[in-house]
Amino acid sequence: MKHVLRIIIITIAVSAILPVSMAGGEPAPPRRELVSLRHWTAPEHTRIVLDMSSECIYQVSERSGPNRIVIDIPKGRLAAGLRKFKVGDGVIDRVRVNRLSNGAQVVIDLPAKSSYKHFALKPNNIHPRHRIVIDVNRTISVTEKRKKAEKARRVAQSGDYVVIIDPGHGGSKPGASSKYGPSEKYYTLPLSKLIAEEIEKHRGFKAVLTRKGDYDVGLYRRIEIAKQHGGHCFVSVHLNSPNKNNKRKLRGSEVYYLTREATSDKHAASVAEKENMDFGEDVNRKELNGDVEEILYNMLRNNAYNMSSVLASHMALELNRMGSIPFRGIRQGNILVLRGIEMPSVLVEVAYLSSKSDVTQIKKKSVQRKVAKAVACGVVSYLLENPPENMEKRPARMAVHTVSRGETLSGIAQRYSCSIKDIRTLNNIGSKSMIRPGQKLTVYAKTD
């Protein structure tokens, strides 16, 4: 067995000289202390995160008989109470900690030899600790890979409109925090699932999620999922928080689309900076900037760049009508996850986690459903009005009907040759609810 030994020496940055002060006025832990260990199982890898009290030198080596990955932290210490734990997800058996005479050691026991990568992350506004990250890859068989690719191809070739829904953050990346409840990632996934559900209520529409559980998904993987499934548009779902210098009380939802130029909008720039933070680890900025020229060229060629603003305005219209959470407007930002997407794409900041009123609203299932419906209606009405040119088969066409005074559901159903049940399902109208004049209803249009 070849012994692999990699040594990473992290240069001491100015920021590291200052101890990271933690909330609550607790004394800072000693330097080079392994404060905690966390893990997440993703479909293609399992991530172990070592939260450190300061920057440190660490060494990663691979051992066999039994298979394991060993992380040595010279002069490192273990926080009191750190214990071994079982993972048992088929990728990692368990994680152990050892106190050595010259430092600390973490051992990752593997059921079989696996490939892995590791890197270090510095603290930022969201993550207060220095971190050492080990990603152990799941061994995926050729048959399994083929099955996955085949499934994606079937969606791409279904002739349906394919909408990619991208739940922001996940796993070791909680996103924005809130003093009124859980952090961003706990909202983005259920909201995205509801949006997908609402989209699929429309005949001829499919929704694909870039993340289905609480785990990390890198920037390139999100873009790859969108491409593989032949997405016609892309919606990234987030919740906002103001940066520390902003003392204004902000609340409401916002829709962002990509800007090519540096923006003079300071608010948009700070939102983009915050949302891009998660991708620091897997983005070689130079590499992405190299690709970006080509991506922007392709976006211009297929008009996706202009169409993103049209998609944003469709969504804005729906979010504005929704009530519950005020709509703050459409903005342009230099947002990484949108930069790799060659289809019309937007990022929705659903609410402000710093606003008590917004959090009270977004915690309600009924409001989550309303938001999901608004986002879904925005995408659906956009695609119906702007069908992608490369579609071989067109799904059943739909139209938006504005209810006039005196009109009934049965009258509208008759006019469009669809059932009352269809109209109720498409528009989330309960069996006891009435329609009102001026209300906009999505209906199946007559196909003749």
Chain residues that interact with Zn ion, rule: CB under 5 A: 168, 175, 238, 275
Nearer to Zn ion, 32 or 238 (CB): 238
Closest contact distance (angstroms) between CB of 296 and Zn ion is 23
* Token pair belonging to 9: 């020496």
| CA distance readout (Å), 367 to 14, 50, 199, 205, 361 | 45, 37, 17, 23, 6
Q: Phi/psi at 440 (nearest 5 deg)?
A: -100, 125
Choose between 19 and 128: whose C-beta lies nearer to Zn ion. Answer: 128
Quote the least distance from Cβ 190 to Zn ion, whole Å.
15
Separation of alpha carbons 8 and 29, rounded Å? 23
End-to-end CA distance of the chain: 70
Taking the complex as a whole, the smallest distance from the CB of residue 378 to Zn ion amounts, in Å, to: 19
Residue nearest to Zn ion (CB): 238
Residues near 385 by beta carbon (within 8 Å), at least 6 away in sequence? 314
What is the C-alpha to C-alpha distance for residues 382 and 385, in angstroms, rounded to an integer? 5
Nearer to Zn ion, 108 or 225 (CB): 225
* C-alpha span between 152 and 228 (Å, rounded): 6
Min separation Cβ 174 and Zn ion, Å: 10
CB of 444 to Zn ion, least distance (A): 35
Q: Is 363 exposed, middle or buried (0-12, 13-18, 19+ CB in 10 A)?
A: middle
3-state secondary structure of 139: coil
For Zn ion, the closer CB: 103 or 171:
171
Least Cβ distance, residue 239 to Zn ion (angstroms): 6
- Of 350 and 374, which has the nearer Cβ to Zn ion? 350
In this complex, which beta carbon is closest to Zn ion, that of residue 168 or of residue 231? 168
Cβ count within 10 A of residue 163: 28
